[in-house]
Structure formats: C-alpha cells, structure tokens
Amino acid sequence: MQLKQFIDHTLLKPTATPADIEKLCLEAISHQFIAICIPPAYLQLAKSVLKSSNVKIATVIGFPLGAMTTDAKVFEAKDAITKGADEIDMVINIGMLKAGDTDYIQNEIAAIKKAIGSKTLKVIIETCYLSLAEKEAACKAALNAKADFLKTSTGFGTGGATFEDVKLMKNIAGDKMQIKASGGIKDRETAIKYIELGVSRLGTSSGIKLVTSEEN
C-alpha cells in the first residue's frame, strides 16, 4: 500500500518559522503527499512554493480551541481561501457541544461550508474531550451540515486518534463524508490500520517516516 496519497503533511507547532514551512512544502513535493496542513499565516508562502505541484494546501480555522465566534471562523475561512487554501480544517465549539447545543454546532459548520463553497471542509471534533454520545452528536451535526470530512483531533488536546473513534465516525459517515485520523500516528502499522478502517486522510508530522519505512 502506498501511503503518500493519504498523508496531510502537517506542521502546526507555534514555533514553526517561514523556513520550516518552506521545507515542509518541498518535502511534500518530493514525497508526493496529497496535502500539507499549515497555519493560515503561511498560506501565500506555501502557495508560491507549491504552485507547480499537485500538492493541496489545507489550513486550520478556530484552532486549536474552537471557542471563537462563528463570525470570526467564517471570516478566517474566507480569508484562507482567498490566500490559497484548498481545504479548511475547522475546530467545533467543544463547550457548546458539551452543553447539548448541537444546533449551534450544526449551524456553525453549515455557515463555514457555505462560505467556502466547493472547497473541502474537515470538521475537527476533538474526540479526546467527548463522551460517546457527544462524539455521535458531533458527527451527525457535521453530516447534516454537509461537511466533507470528519477529523478526530487537533493534535493539541489530551489525546489523538483512536481506532474506536474512527469506527464510530465511519458508522455515522458511511459514504457521505470522508474521515481524517489525526494525532499520534507515528508508524506504518498504525497508519495502515486506520486506512483499513476507512480513513482517507492521515494528519501526521511523521509522514516522511511512514513512507520511507515502506521503501525499506
């Protein structure tokens, strides 16, 4: 199995410099990763480095806490598209979900999807903070709001992706949404298991290690 077309080559550390982002882009070209995932401030830099490649550019919105206003997230998403993003990875408002206000979650996702049109929207539900019922509610809200992807984690919470969470997501998403597993994916065996469970993207900063281990 070739992992390269599943990998969102990711660099979201707060200390990442423009030089680090440029290096990430060049690595993505070299290894033919499907996408990079970077902070919005570096979109135009990434666009210039990747302009003659097929690598998609994903960025994060409402990241990593998700507690910004819907208006702020919508503005951020529109701004990101203007500056070259192909895909938006948004964080839901976790507190509103935990308060049981699934309408708020659904309406916010729908507003961002409307704002970005045909561009890809991935909804980060941050599974590590949620009960089983809350995970199900978040997935259903994303489905009803016509998001393109469910995504497990920011990588900045108390835990990352798990096989159990991906199974739950797949059960709700069916073939209507895709799934991105993110957080803690550091070896080839784990990556393959996620793909076998139905994941179509892997958010990882260990992408080079994953693909070079398959060549050895």
Report, as residue numbers or ranges, the catalytic residues: 89, 151, 180
Dist CA 76 CA 61 (whole Å): 6
Dist CA 175 CA 101 (whole Å): 26
Closest by Cα among 154, 142, 130 to 178 = 142
Residue 9 CB coordination number (10 Å): 27
Could you give the count of Cα atoms lying within 13 Å of 92 in the half-sphere of its Cβ?
A: 38
Could you give the count of Cα atoms lying within 13 Å of 147 in the half-sphere of its Cβ?
A: 35
State the Rg of the chain over Cα: 16
Dist CA 93 CA 113 (whole Å): 15
Distance of CA 114 to the CA centre of its chain: 18
Burial 144-169 (b: 16+ CB within 10 A, else e): ebebbbbbbbbbbbeebbbeebbebb
Question: For residue 110, which amino acid is it?
Answer: A
